[in-house]
Amino acid sequence: MSSAPPQVSRKLFGMFCLASYLLSLSYGSTFLLSLLIGARGGNEHDAGSVISAAMLSTFAAVIVSGHLSDVFGAARSIALFGVLLVVASLGFAMTPGFGHLLLFFGLLLGLGWGVFYTLGPIIVASLVVPAQRAKYFALLSGSMMTGIGSGPLLGRAASALGFPLTSAFYLAALASLIGVVLFWRLDARLNKAPSPTASVARISWRATFEVLSSRAVLPIVMVGLGGCVFGGLSSFQTSYATSRSLDYSLFFFGFMGAAISSRMLIAGFVVKRDPLRASCLLSGLMMGSIVLFGFVVDNSFTYVLAAMTLGVGYGLTYSVINGLAANEAPGGVTAQALLLFSLSYFIGVFGFPLLAGKIIVEQGMGTLLLTILAVALLNWLITVGRLLWRRFNLKTPQPA
């Protein structure tokens, strides 16, 4: 008779999610960079350059995060590099004008966010058995999405109260500092927690080949494409809203509310369904939201509707494919699969804004939305292909 899987302490996991929320505010505040740089004489392409600078440092962050985890522990590594998120937020607020110094702070943001975003799911994977991963990934990503969505809302609240936009970056820095302290204190408690899966986290060429030659490569590609959609829309939502005389805070309210509520209320149901069917349906929903943004949105109601559709589609898709990446990886390289999953996401979410900003400046917002729609379509077609492949293989008679 098999023993029951070890249970994760609710108090421990709750503190873990709170710390994750606080650190995520620093990344969420970067969605205000387009406004901030615009007020200093720059444009969307300049903002995209700062955001995409983070992509370069995330490569280093993802590669070294596994080594850091093996040496210092995952939570303590997050705390150490979380300090860079504090510095980056302060740098964005305090740097006058636009120049190379902002690019430097973008690099710091990438290092801090890369280590945190990569090691967070690895902590979860080490605490719970495979059957519980999708559920706890959803709770973690819900906490992070709440922080990401709260960042731009700080800017809107600051404007409403008559404070400068930079105050949102100062608040994000303070929140991230508290998150750093919590993660440092969590290290000892996480080490004492029961761990059903213990493995080395550092990446290697052999582990990379094992992961990329397995079925886990497909959710890894999908998260990169999803990152392009999310990064492209969120980073320039202030420009989109201005072009249609709308309030950008409505997007973040709608997106965050839908993403959080869906992850908290129905993620438990979704993760118990067939993951391939679920990812196909949710990817289609995400693609539908882009159609709404491009061809339907013309008032506050349709704007919020499109944002909520994106929140449900993107939010739940991420949770499903995160579980697929972990569970479809070969035995012994789950942590490395999650590292590559994070790397693919960063390429999309930090790399695509550079192209997106250039498209806006040279071709306009309409062309950007069509480009994002094409990316979302490719993402959906991958899920359709997986379903068709499985159906064909099930119908193919096996040799005796």
C-alpha to C-alpha distance for 17 and 139, rounded to whole angstroms: 8
Which residues have C-beta within 8 Å of that of residue 219, sequence separation ≥ 6?
279, 321, 322, 324, 325, 328, 341
Distance CA 105, CA 365 (A): 27
Give the pLDDT confidence of 351-366 residue by residue, as tens digits.
Answer: 898 899 899 999 999 9
More confident residue, 234 or 280: 280
| Contact of 144 with 20, CB cutoff 8 Å | yes
Burial label for 284, CB within 10 Å (0-12, 13-18, 19+), is middle
CATH architecture of 10-395: Up-down Bundle (1.20)
9 or 22: which leads in pLDDT: 22
Q: Predicted confidence band at 5 (pLDDT cuts at 50, 70, 90)?
A: very low
Helix pair 334-346, 205-212: axis angle to 10 deg: 80
Residue 96's CB: how many other CB atoms inside 10 A? 7
Q: Please, are residues 365 and 243 in contact by the beta-carbon 8 Å criterion?
A: yes
Identify which has the larger pLDDT, 318 or 250.
250
The pLDDT value given to residue 400:
39
User: pLDDT value at position 395?
Assistant: 59
Q: What is the pLDDT of residue 72?
A: 86
Q: What is the dihedral of CA 268, 271, 274, 279, to 10 degrees?
A: 120
Query: Which region holds residue 171: left if phi is over 0, alpha if psi is between -120 and 50, else beta?
Result: alpha
Across the chain, mean pLDDT equals 86
Q: What is the pLDDT of residues 152-194, one digit of tens each?
A: 888 889 888 889 999 999 999 999 999 999 999 988 777 665 5
Q: How far apart, in whole angstroms, are the C-alpha atoms of residue 348 and residue 344?
A: 7
**CA–CA separation, 21 and 19 (whole Å):** 5
pLDDT band per the 50, 70, 90 thresholds, residue 100: confident
Distance CA(130)–CA(323), nearest Å, equals 8
- Provide the angle, in degrees to the nearest 10, between the axes of the packed helices 275-295 and 300-327: 150
